[in-house]
Structure 1
Amino acid sequence: MGPSFNEQFDQLGEWRKGFANQLAQFRSWLGEHELLDAAVQEHLHRLEAQLLDDKVCVAFVAEFSRGKSELINAIFFAHYGRRIMPASPGRTTMCPTELGYDPALPACMRLLPIETREQTYSLAQWRSRPSTWVQLPLDVNDPEQMAVQISKVAETRTVTVQEARALGFWNDELPQDNPMVNAQGLVEIPRWRHALVNIAHPLLKQGLVILDTPGLNAVGAEPELTVNQIAQAHAVVFLLGADTGVTKSDLAIWQEHLLPSHREGESHLVVLNKIDALWNGIDSTEKVQQQLERQRQLSAQMLKISPQRILPLSAQKGLQAKLERRNDLLQESGLPAFEDALAQGILAHRQAILLSAVTGGVQQMRAQVRRAIQIRRRDLDEQMMELNSLRGKNTTVIDSMRQRIEQEQRSFEASSTRILALRTVHLRLMNQAFQHLGSTSQRKELEQLAQALEHSGLKLGVRKVYAATFERLRELGNQVRAAGTEVQSMLGASFKDLNAEFGFSLLPPEPLQLHDFEKNLAELEESYLQYLGFGNVFKLANPLFGERLIKALGMRLRSIFENAANDLDLWSKGATAQLDAQLKERKRSFARRIEAVDRIQSAASGLMEHIAQIESAEAQLHAIDQMLTDKTELLLHLPVLEGAACAVQPLQD
């Protein structure tokens, strides 16, 4: 049995902290040796931001009363000595509840009223309107107070059928899915639409985000929740009842909301919860295990996944065992095996992604810094050749040498006009490329789809419009790459001319890479297809739902395009940073060469002394180059979680 989820998450946090410390030391070392150019600065900044902002989201999804909240209590909150999430009989989570940590906010719970469903704002837009939320204080030192406050996510209210219809909880075409009408002609609906819990839990402080979702109706009514939050979660835990297996509503949640983004073998797990219901004291342990295995195999067949992804457990007994410190009951509950599978599935995979980003970033930084070192080495070689040529020469030869250096300097300074023209053309081409990834382009490509969804009634032909929309979005990526190719060609030709005429040693830029752009677009397109099928035809007939769908799609799309714009920006800076670095180094070199000639002219012993200084400087550069290798290797060889390192290719120069 491997380390628990909590222990592995702590290990991931320690790794991130250790890497951040090493990165800070590397930045200081580069600054001390004047090796921090714009491209290196940008790489460092993005690596630091990625470590600081890295979040790990675990979403718990199931129909009502499957034990999601109890499982969350057992894994994350047992140290409080009691339940924190409402999990008692009759007290179930009625609205999506998100647990995380933001140091800028006090410990609190914010609740979004259900009435906000009458408006078309997305959940992300409501987050930027704090006055709309009801905020309740939480005392992290008082578990009882926390539990009482958080229990409000189970609150309901009664409304008329007309109100329920307006809020998305009543559909005349699907009467089997509607809530029951009481004697007064009213129906019960959740009081809150969404809940945000902000507490300084050790794991939440390290970047863990927990998403607890309610049943089928609530999940299906929020496209942003299903397609953005759940689809992008790093791990999804789908709970079934061990006694019931896969029910009709369970299968509906799986097929409509989880299957489109299911990642077999990574971090999507299915739980057969409440196995203690089979512990009747009559059947033998072997017979109970046989019953569980049959249920596991049948569930795997219905969900069309590997049986190894389905884990039996009892969240209630696991929590009880942790509270009573009973290791025997804990093992019987199956909770440790689940925590181990969750940790292996999500954390090692998450660190592998971070390691991959680190590897690429450090590789580019090392190449960039080594290029600056090579420029310095070349300048030292030129100085050494000049000084050696002056041995035994008279004052006239030295004067001639000084005049030649000054002539080279004037010729080099004449390159400024060419460089200014180069920068102007580069900036113009890059602005054109960025426009393809801007919000205006995204809105334009979504217009036809928005128009197809905004009218009432059946949406005929909407899938065709949807497919055409994503074809145009992919074409925007192609246009960006075409612009990148034009920039690459222009810079390559200009660098070649500058090298020949002014003695630069500029390298042509690498081709532009938009990492995962097509892959993310394809995943987004696939995840939304579920809403355009026959099963959602009546829901889609509501223009309010269509507007929510477009807003949710736009939010996810904006994230994909922002990532592509970041790739484009970093590529652009990396392509031209060498020009700035060489300008700076060549200016220093001319000043040092003239100073050396002047000193030799004024003192007979100056020549040999300066040759010795050049030799010392060359030795220092060699030492700096070796330290660069050592420090970057140290960044890449911090201890990693089991299973993470194998996903990363070794660094190559």
Structure 2
Amino acid sequence: MGLSFGEQFDRFGQWRKGFAAQMAGFRDWLAAQDLLDAAVQDHLLRLEHLLRGDKVCVAFVAEFSRGKSELINAVFFAHYGRRIMPATPGRTTMCPTELGYDPALPPCLRLLPVETRAQPYSLAEWRSRPSTWVQLPMDVHDPDQLASTLAHVAQVCKVPVEEARTLGFWSDEAGADNPVPDEQGLVEIPKWRHALLNMAHPLLKQGLVIVDTPGLNAVGTEPELTVNLIAQAHAVVFLLAADAGVTKSDMAIWREHLLPCHREGDAHLVVLNKIDTLWGSLDSGTEVQAQLNRQRAQSAQILGIDPARILPLSAQKGLMAKIESNAALLQRSGLPLFEDLLAQGILAHRQSILRNVVGAGVTQLQAQVQRAIQIRRRDLDEQMLELRSLRGKNATVIQSMRQRIQQEQRTFEDSSAKILAVRTVHLKLMNQAFQLLGATSLRRELEQLAGALEHSGLKLGVRKVYAATFESLRGLGQQAKAAAGEIQTMLSATFKELNTEFGFSLQLPGDLQLHDFDRELAQIEESYLQYLGFGHALKLANPLFGQRMVKALGMRLRTLFESAANDLDLWSKSATSQLDAQLKERKRSFARRIEAVDRISEAASGLMERIAEIESAEQQLTALEQRLAQWMQQLLQPPEPEVALTDAPAAGV
């Protein structure tokens, strides 16, 4: 019997933790051998953080009443023996809900009042204002209390049409698509704008984040939700109803909000839910299957995807089967195949990415550490040549050698002023590059776009301003690379001089790459471009929507620019840290050489003892290189999860 999604994710989490522990062990070993310079330590800490803190986000997207919350219950909460997310008729998730785990917070449900939509702040900014949220405590060991607390995400309130219009739930041009006013002229809207569930669920503790995004109104009026959370999710599950197929509102969600970020393959799946509605019909099993196949084919044609990407299932029957331990019903529900494909799409893909990123980083670290070991070996070789040249020599010759070493030491120390000047210029150029990628620079580039969106009415010419903004942002990346090129040119001359004068082995860092900066910038530009089309002209006419869009855009761009600045910092440290390491080793070498000569002067046996010490030190370096090779083999070929991620479809939790 195969493993459920939860079990496969748990194995993946254990694999990440084990891999991170190996990285920590390698870091401790380097520190014990005095091989941990600033760049190596920074690089290792980033790799460890990547492994330990890696988040895997799964976004469930659907129009109301497609069974999305029930599917979340079936996959993640069946072990409670009841529904946890509200999924009964008449009670559905009304506001976007994120499920995750933060150990710094108690188990709770935090709710953001819908009235905050009347203000221009982004969701990310509201997150930093905890006093605005309504926080409800939860007992994760009491399923009834947990479900009762989560029922709040289904709450609604009634407001006048004018307030609904301000909050984005009413448009005069929407006609029949608007909510229906009651006898008092009030319309029903969600009570909450956003919900954050924090609980120590085993999967959430392992880094899983679940995003529940209900309904076209919730998705379409929150740019940050659409182009940040959903676009960056590692898996997107889009639900349709088997008895309805692709409706007009389903198609609106797909075309406007999912298609721009849809990726064929991986874990972008379409679910044809509620297939159990066909089971009770008068049709035979063969006829029901034929009807289901037609529905899949039609839905695939409408969405423009491969029919194999559409998975028929019954979330309700799958949940019931898990609770009742009914293996036959579970298989018939189609849930095990969905769980397995979801696990395959997310976990195998994430594991491959982590392997590649860590592997590339470890290979780079190996070169840096190997270079430090070679510096030590070269210094030992130089000392050995000196000492052997002293065999049979008198005190005058030995004293002359001591004076020569001291003169070399003084010459070396005199060069510190030159090195300090280089460091000063280097720091100045780095500060200029960091400013290009800083928050102030980014905010300045977004000012014109924000100005074009802040006034009421149709936004003519905003696409041109938008294109110009991204052209300027690309220019900032190019300027940062150009600044790095200046640094590289300066270091090239300095390193060449130091290598010639002092026998250093300083290596110039390669060109600054700013990993995927241009590609990700283009993806961000494309994902937000959808909001500038004719279909969103009415939304853009509302200045609050435009302000929220710019805020959301700014938050995502800030993450990208911070990542680029981190790459720049690591690139700079890879150059300066090797200079620091070789300066440190050279100072130690001078001290050891003078000490050796003094010992030889004091006792005739000192020469042979020192030669023996150097021979022993060389053997230790050889052992060090062998152990380094073993570490590299371990880190480049990390342990596999106990069970491969390609097991057969799951049969239950």
Answer yes or no: same fold by TM over 0.5.
Answer: yes
Shift of 1:158: 0.8
What is the identity, as a one-letter code, of the residue corresponding to 1:278?
A: L
C-alpha distance in 2 between matches for 1:457 and 1:115: 23
Residue aligning to 2:494: 494
What is the identity, as a one-letter code, of the residue corresponding to 1:620?
A: Q
Q: Is the contact made by 1:415 and 1:502 (CA closer than 8 Å) also made in structure 2?
A: no
Residue aligning to 1:396: 396
Once the two structures are superposed, residues 88-135 of structure 1 have per-residue CA deviations (whole angstroms, 9 ceiling, x without a partner) of 011000000111111111111011111111111111111111111111
Q: Is the contact made by 2:347 and 2:645 (CA closer than 8 Å) also made in structure 1?
A: no
Is 1:548 aligned to 2:526, yes or no? no
What is the identity, as a one-letter code, of the residue corresponding to 2:62?
A: A
Shift of 1:49: 1.8
User: CA-atom RMSD, angstroms?
Assistant: 1.5
| TM-score, length-scaled by structure 1 | 0.97
Residues 553-572 of structure 1 aligned to structure 2 (within 5 Å): 553-572=553-572
Shift of 1:289: 1.9
Residue aligning to 2:6: 6
Shift of 1:177: 2.3
Residue aligning to 2:82: 82
What is the identity, as a one-letter code, of the residue corresponding to 2:135?
A: Q
What is the identity, as a one-letter code, of the residue corresponding to 2:603?
A: A
644 and 486 in structure 1: CA distance in 2 versus 1, 3 angstrom threshold: farther
Residue aligning to 1:594: 594
C-alpha distance in 2 between matches for 1:69 and 1:326: 21
Q: Is the contact made by 1:237 and 1:271 (CA closer than 8 Å) also made in structure 2?
A: yes
C-alpha distance in 1 between matches for 2:399 and 2:320: 91
Residue aligning to 2:59: 59
C-alpha distance in 2 between matches for 1:592 and 1:139: 64
C-alpha distance in 2 between matches for 1:13 and 1:308: 29
643 and 583 in structure 1: CA distance in 2 versus 1, 3 angstrom threshold: farther
Runs (4+) of structure 1 exceeding 4 A deviation are 641-646
598 and 645 in structure 1: CA distance in 2 versus 1, 3 angstrom threshold: farther
Residue aligning to 1:309: 309
119 and 427 in structure 1: CA distance in 2 versus 1, 3 angstrom threshold: same
Residue aligning to 1:425: 425
Residue aligning to 1:283: 283
Q: Is the contact made by 1:349 and 1:643 (CA closer than 8 Å) also made in structure 2?
A: no
Structure 2, unaligned runs of 5 or more = 647-653
Residue aligning to 2:478: 478
Aligned residue for 1:232, secondary structure, equals coil
Residue aligning to 1:383: 383
Once the two structures are superposed, residues 169-193 of structure 1 have per-residue CA deviations (whole angstroms, 9 ceiling, x without a partner) of 1101221321111122111000010
C-alpha distance in 2 between matches for 1:304 and 1:643: 35
Aligned residue for 1:209, secondary structure, equals strand
Once the two structures are superposed, residues 144-189 of structure 1 have per-residue CA deviations (whole angstroms, 9 ceiling, x without a partner) of 0000110110010111111111111110122132111112211100
Shift of 1:632: 2.3
Aligned residue for 1:211, secondary structure, equals strand
Residue aligning to 1:573: 573
Q: Is the contact made by 2:101 and 2:200 (CA closer than 8 Å) also made in structure 1?
A: yes
Residue aligning to 1:585: 585
C-alpha distance in 2 between matches for 1:104 and 1:613: 52
Once the two structures are superposed, residues 313-364 of structure 1 have per-residue CA deviations (whole angstroms, 9 ceiling, x without a partner) of 0000000000000111000000000000000001111122222221122122
Shift of 1:644: 10
Residue aligning to 1:649: none
Residue aligning to 1:170: 170
Is 1:206 aligned to 2:206, yes or no? yes
Once the two structures are superposed, residues 553-581 of structure 1 have per-residue CA deviations (whole angstroms, 9 ceiling, x without a partner) of 00101001000000000101111110000
Structure 1, unaligned runs of 5 or more = 647-653
Structure 1 range deviating more: 241-250 or 22-31: 22-31
C-alpha distance in 2 between matches for 1:202 and 1:33: 38
C-alpha distance in 1 between matches for 2:290 and 2:615: 79
Aligned residue for 1:513, secondary structure, equals coil
Q: Is the contact made by 1:348 and 1:644 (CA closer than 8 Å) also made in structure 2?
A: no
What is the identity, as a one-letter code, of the residue corresponding to 2:502?
A: F
Aligned residue for 2:514, secondary structure, equals coil
What is the identity, as a one-letter code, of the residue corresponding to 1:212?
A: D
| TM-score, length-scaled by structure 2 | 0.97
Q: Is the contact made by 2:17 and 2:52 (CA closer than 8 Å) also made in structure 1?
A: no
Aligned residue for 1:505, secondary structure, equals coil
Aligned residue for 1:213, secondary structure, equals strand
Aligned residue for 1:233, secondary structure, equals coil
Once the two structures are superposed, residues 374-422 of structure 1 have per-residue CA deviations (whole angstroms, 9 ceiling, x without a partner) of 1000000001111111122222221111111111111111110111001
Residue aligning to 2:153: 153
C-alpha distance in 1 between matches for 2:8 and 2:485: 43
Q: Is the contact made by 1:411 and 1:502 (CA closer than 8 Å) also made in structure 2?
A: no
C-alpha distance in 1 between matches for 2:464 and 2:53: 38
C-alpha distance in 2 between matches for 1:576 and 1:2: 51
Percent identity over the alignment is: 74
Once the two structures are superposed, residues 33-82 of structure 1 have per-residue CA deviations (whole angstroms, 9 ceiling, x without a partner) of 11111111111221122223211110000000000000000000000110
645 and 210 in structure 1: CA distance in 2 versus 1, 3 angstrom threshold: closer
Once the two structures are superposed, residues 601-645 of structure 1 have per-residue CA deviations (whole angstroms, 9 ceiling, x without a partner) of 222222222211111111100110111111122122223469999
C-alpha distance in 2 between matches for 1:475 and 1:65: 46
Aligned residue for 2:513, secondary structure, equals coil
Once the two structures are superposed, residues 205-225 of structure 1 have per-residue CA deviations (whole angstroms, 9 ceiling, x without a partner) of 111111111100111011111
Q: Is the contact made by 2:343 and 2:645 (CA closer than 8 Å) also made in structure 1?
A: no
Aligned residue for 1:501, secondary structure, equals helix
C-alpha distance in 1 between matches for 2:229 and 2:279: 36
Residue aligning to 1:445: 445
Shift of 1:3: 3.3
Shift of 1:282: 3.3
Aligned residue for 1:244, secondary structure, equals coil
Shift of 1:301: 1.1
Residue aligning to 1:620: 620
